Structure 1
Amino acid sequence: MKKRILSLTSLMLSAVLLFTGCGSAKEDAGTASAGEGTKTESQASDTSADTASDADTKLRDGKMTELRVVFPGGTSSPADLEAVEAGINEIVSQYMDATVKLDILEWGVFSDQQKLMLSSGEDIALMFTFDSSKNYAATNQVRDITDLCGLYAQDALDGLGIYAEACQINGKYYGLPTFHEYTKTSGLVCRTDILEELNIDPSSVKTWDDLEAVLAKVKEAHPEMNVLSPVEVGSGILDYYNEGKFDVLTDGIGVRMDGDGTEVLNMYDTPEFMELAKLAYDWNKKGYFMADATTVTDTRQDLLAAGNTFGYIGQIHPGTATQELKNSGVPVTTIPVGEKALTTGNVNFAQYMVPTGCSTPEKAVKLLDIMLTNKDMANLLMYGVEGSDYVIKDEAAGVVGYPDGVDSSNVGWNNETWLAGNGALAYAWESDSADIWKQYEEFNASAVTSPLYGFTFDTTNVKTEITAITNVIKKYKAVICAGYSEPEEAVAQMVSELQASGIDRIVEEAKTQIDAWKGNQ
């Protein structure tokens, strides 16, 4: 089957623009207003001059607006939070009259608190989402920022290139993506010390069968240990087993990556999901899964840090090992065995949006532009305060690490790349290769591109059905992926209840929209 592949040249150009950014705050101070740049005489019309002047007036209005930024994290009150905010405010002051308040919600409460904040219309400048902006746009909980991006975030749009386009909904922006892995693969993330103890060579593990042999060896050597934990609180164990095989349009609905995008599927009624269910059931019977996988409230990092867990099956990308080391304090090795896919959803799932309740959307969009283009901002959001949270280890190579006496257990600031705006502008961490951001670029460019790249499914017409099938998926998915239920029976029950809840109606709606979208390509 012929696959639609994005031009490697286009991908690389987008990545180069992303990595180059717009320099440090000091370098940017003379051109603080986004979208102004250098204009020729012919371009500097009265209209554009008025627009630029109006834009600057909105930013320099004499009011020190507090811009609240909400995102998830491991702790709501890191020790150096105020110091990081002070550093951010020093940068922001060079662009506009505003201060920034970072509102970090712990992972366990983030989703519920996010929904409450958006539905109640709180005055929030930027809200992070790991579920794309489409549902929030459909319910008018976030703003259309298309025109504002042209005035206040053109540098960010230019740098993001085709990746920004993945965030468009009917040609409009409701958020912009953070820098992260724009493709995904799956596999085993596990303790390095156990691999070394058992003389397991991770480079020899190429398939799921190879991976099972590793699990069996660990189980035999450490019967007291949880071999695999859930990747997320409330999930099963093998949730990411089919990563890269489908372009997921909304939970439960997708198209195969090796198709032409015209066959829309209930993904839970496919041979691939049945294969997952059978493998999960088999592995659970063999004792590879922790006993209370779907109800445990500890995060995977907590479980790794406690010393009684070997690893988990999750998404893998360049930098995963360092991310987990910083979060748990445990050195881990990544063993990818899944497939890689570049899809709209893989790009646009992680965004910062401007909520409808924001009273100063112009300043909010400008702040987003700074987060995506400013090197000093990137280092602050990624690593915290230089000298206390990190020190430069190799100036020429751009490598940083913990100061003496500091590690993941006592550092005053910790963040993840996909939450930090544009981490690719920041230094490399000492446990990563100095060229880690180049590795991201190559990783993103190496994926097969979905036949529906650029398409976003509008669920407005099937809201009721989406709600109904979501409840069914919550009822069955984690239990099946944790291997608790007999596969044939559980999957059949799940499919039956999905059909009764209207999943076929969602499939038909997706087909209609895809046909229209393809007709306009």
Structure 2
Amino acid sequence: MFSLSACSTSDKNTTSNNTSKKATKFVPSKNMTKLVLVTNTHLFDGEYQKVLNQFNLKLSELGKKYYLDIKLIDNSPSLKKGEEEATSYNKKYHNGVLDMKSKNEQVDIIRFDTGDDSDYYNDYDYFYLNNFLTPLDDYINKDTSIKNIIDDKSFTAAKRNGKIYAVPDILNGTGRGWNVKTSQLKSSGLTEKDLESERWEILNNSKLSSKKIFIDPQANTMSAGLELSEPPYCAELYYDLITPCVGVKFDSDSAKAINIYQDEYITKSIKSTYSMGSFDKCKLSIVPAYTSSDKVTTNSIDGTITIPINDKLYSCGNISGLGIANWSKNANYAYDLISLLNTNKELATLLNYGIEGVNYTKNDDGTVKLSNSEDDNYYNPNCIFSNSKILPTNADYPYTDNSKDTVLSPIYSFIFDYNKVKSEIIATNKVITKYKSNLFVGKGDYAELSKKFNEDLEKAGVQKIVDEANKQIAIWQKTNK
């Protein structure tokens, strides 16, 4: 862990308004309070000193009695000799903040990421469950400027047990889709319309019946903690997963946990694998993809085209944003700064994009173009310190507000207690890992493998996980009416 002081003697950069002038060095006065924002190196790794200097000068110009310091927790994954899996970057971040709290080190604002490769929980739920956070309801109810910027659905998704502990970023839904090389699509004689459907429908398409194609059954595998592995075919975009084999359908009005490997979507997906043909012989490779809109998008960098399956965008309520540490002695100042980052365009642009003329330039249409120099590329496209609505659009990472079209999970703020079925989760995950090398990729006899797979899941205790999940969901629904 290391701190990035805003008053470094090495600050020799230009101001954001005039690159020909030397920046004034920010030196806090004796009556100013330091605010510490903690985040991690996985989320953000850039040139801080110059930007923090400019940021704190702006705060001073606004008459604020506080200034900002950023402390980074090094959560870079590491692979020890003899181990197959790298350490969890989420868990390293969680443990780092926990260590700061146990030592009573100053932390005022905590940054949450949406990624989750920890044993159980994403950042927000981990810090909430471990009583790290201050409820923000009173602040938010008084702050109409925040309410005018952040949509109600984002605040709804941020609730935990009826209270809000984070000022969330924009709520982004993700949809199911396919990635395919533009050149392959054209040479195959297919159009985007031919791929705007589910796997089994694509494989039954008359245009594809005579072609050898490959649809990657599992484009990404993630293992950490309890060896959590993604189910095949981007199932996490159809279910809000509680474990890799138990989830709740996004399309369902009822919040009922099921064994997803007995559900039609997954069973049809697995069975359709057997119509694919081999990768070596295929002329068309289609890979499951996350989409952020209902429109076809082209990535000019690698020549791929993203084709959405439908116009639904789903969110399980995994929140990114900023919260206040409950051991902070500066909660009022901390919320004031969070509010500024979500309402003040100049401050938000500075902390997210860096210094104009150094880290980015403005285009005629109001968008920004980031520096091509690696040394000056300060910006992280996750927009990690502000609400994206008030930021100018990054021309390289255009942002679309799709919160109105986002379907919230029926269990958007439910947090599953894994402890009562920990051994069953480990056992069922091992079954999934065992079969993904044959059943999920079309090797062997489908009927025999499918039967054996489901039998092994039952023996491993999948029904016990389902029953426990539904028991906890029922209690949660009753408590959160």
Q: TM-score, normalised by structure 2?
A: 0.68
Deviation for aligned residue 1:417: 3.5
Q: Does residue 1:287 correspond to 2:279, yes or no? A: yes
One-letter identity of the residue aligned with 2:413: T
Q: Does residue 1:399 correspond to 2:367, yes or no? A: yes
Deviations 1:451-487 (A, max 9, x none): x37x62254xx44136445534643556666736844
Alpha-carbon separation, structure 2, partners of 1:211 and 1:104: 45
Of residues 404, 410, 423 in structure 2, which corresponds to 1:445?
404
Deviations 1:478-518 (A, max 9, x none): 6666736844433442344243764412212212332454x
In structure 1, the partner of 2:7 is none
Alpha-carbon separation, structure 2, partners of 1:377 and 1:322: 31
Deviations 1:98-157 (A, max 9, x none): 223162756745312122124324443213132363343223133333334446x55324
Q: Does residue 1:465 correspond to 2:420, yes or no? A: yes
Q: Does residue 1:202 correspond to 2:201, yes or no? A: no
Of residues 306, 326, 336 in structure 2, which corresponds to 1:334?
306
Deviations 1:251-296 (A, max 9, x none): 755443444315443434433333344456776x7338xxxxxxxx
Deviations 1:292-339 (A, max 9, x none): xxxxxxxxxxxxxxxxx97842321149999988xxx64543211156
One-letter identity of the residue aligned with 1:353: G
Is the contact between residue 268 and residue 495 of structure 1 (CA under 8 Å) also seen in structure 2?
Answer: no
Q: Does residue 1:120 correspond to 2:99, yes or no? A: yes
Higher helix share: 1
In structure 1, the partner of 2:336 is 366
Alpha-carbon separation, structure 1, partners of 2:132 and 2:463: 30
Q: Does residue 1:475 correspond to 2:430, yes or no? A: yes
In structure 2, the partner of 1:430 is 395
Aligned residue pairs total 413
In structure 1, the partner of 2:267 is 274
Deviation for aligned residue 1:186: 1.5
Q: Does residue 1:67 correspond to 2:58, yes or no? A: no
Deviation for aligned residue 1:206: 1.0
Q: Which secondary structure does the structure 2 equivalent of 1:87 belong to?
A: helix
Percent sequence identity over matched residues?
14
In structure 2, the partner of 1:51 is none
C-alpha distance 253-236 of structure 1, shift in aligned 2 (>3 A): closer
In structure 2, the partner of 1:380 is 350
In structure 2, the partner of 1:493 is 456
C-alpha distance 415-282 of structure 1, shift in aligned 2 (>3 A): farther
Q: Which secondary structure does the structure 1 equivalent of 2:134 belong to?
A: coil
One-letter identity of the residue aligned with 2:368: V
Deviation for aligned residue 1:164: 0.9
Alpha-carbon separation, structure 1, partners of 2:112 and 2:186: 38
In structure 2, the partner of 1:243 is 237
Alpha-carbon separation, structure 1, partners of 2:434 and 2:56: 46
Q: Does residue 1:82 correspond to 2:71, yes or no? A: no
Is the contact between residue 295 and residue 308 of structure 2 (CA under 8 Å) also seen in structure 1?
Answer: no
C-alpha distance 248-157 of structure 1, shift in aligned 2 (>3 A): farther
In structure 2, the partner of 1:296 is none
In structure 2, the partner of 1:389 is 359
Structure 2: tracts of 5 or more residues without a match: 1-15, 18-28, 78-87, 115-121, 224-228, 444-448
Structure 1: tracts of 5 or more residues without a match: 1-24, 27-59, 289-308
C-alpha distance 143-318 of structure 1, shift in aligned 2 (>3 A): same
Is the contact between residue 219 and residue 288 of structure 2 (CA under 8 Å) also seen in structure 1?
Answer: yes
Alpha-carbon separation, structure 1, partners of 2:242 and 2:128: 16
Alpha-carbon separation, structure 2, partners of 1:320 and 1:97: 44
C-alpha distance 90-187 of structure 1, shift in aligned 2 (>3 A): farther
In structure 2, the partner of 1:508 is 471
Q: Does residue 1:137 correspond to 2:121, yes or no? A: no
In structure 2, the partner of 1:41 is none
Deviation for aligned residue 1:387: 1.7
Alpha-carbon separation, structure 1, partners of 2:472 and 2:157: 20
Alpha-carbon separation, structure 2, partners of 1:115 and 1:121: 10
In structure 2, the partner of 1:111 is 90
Root mean square deviation, CA, Å:
4.5
Q: Which secondary structure does the structure 1 equivalent of 2:363 belong to?
A: strand
Deviation for aligned residue 1:393: 1.7
In structure 1, the partner of 2:84 is none
C-alpha distance 318-264 of structure 1, shift in aligned 2 (>3 A): closer
In structure 2, the partner of 1:230 is 219
Deviation for aligned residue 1:70: 0.6
Is the contact between residue 112 and residue 319 of structure 2 (CA under 8 Å) also seen in structure 1?
Answer: no
One-letter identity of the residue aligned with 1:62: N
Q: Which secondary structure does the structure 2 equivalent of 1:207 belong to?
A: coil
Q: Does residue 1:155 correspond to 2:145, yes or no? A: yes
Deviation for aligned residue 1:171: 2.1
Alpha-carbon separation, structure 2, partners of 1:229 and 1:241: 10
Is the contact between residue 230 and residue 236 of structure 1 (CA under 8 Å) also seen in structure 2?
Answer: no
Alpha-carbon separation, structure 2, partners of 1:355 and 1:474: 34
Is the contact between residue 367 and residue 392 of structure 2 (CA under 8 Å) also seen in structure 1?
Answer: yes
Deviation for aligned residue 1:398: 1.4
One-letter identity of the residue aligned with 1:315: Y
Q: TM-score, normalised by structure 1?
A: 0.64
C-alpha distance 392-165 of structure 1, shift in aligned 2 (>3 A): same
Q: Which secondary structure does the structure 2 equivalent of 1:366 belong to?
A: helix
Deviation for aligned residue 1:184: 2.0
Q: Which secondary structure does the structure 2 equivalent of 1:100 belong to?
A: strand
Q: Does residue 1:187 correspond to 2:181, yes or no? A: no
C-alpha distance 141-228 of structure 1, shift in aligned 2 (>3 A): same
Larger radius of gyration: 2
C-alpha distance 496-237 of structure 1, shift in aligned 2 (>3 A): closer
Deviation for aligned residue 1:228: 8.3
Alpha-carbon separation, structure 2, partners of 1:382 and 1:193: 36
Alpha-carbon separation, structure 2, partners of 1:377 and 1:272: 46
Q: Which secondary structure does the structure 1 equivalent of 2:460 belong to?
A: helix
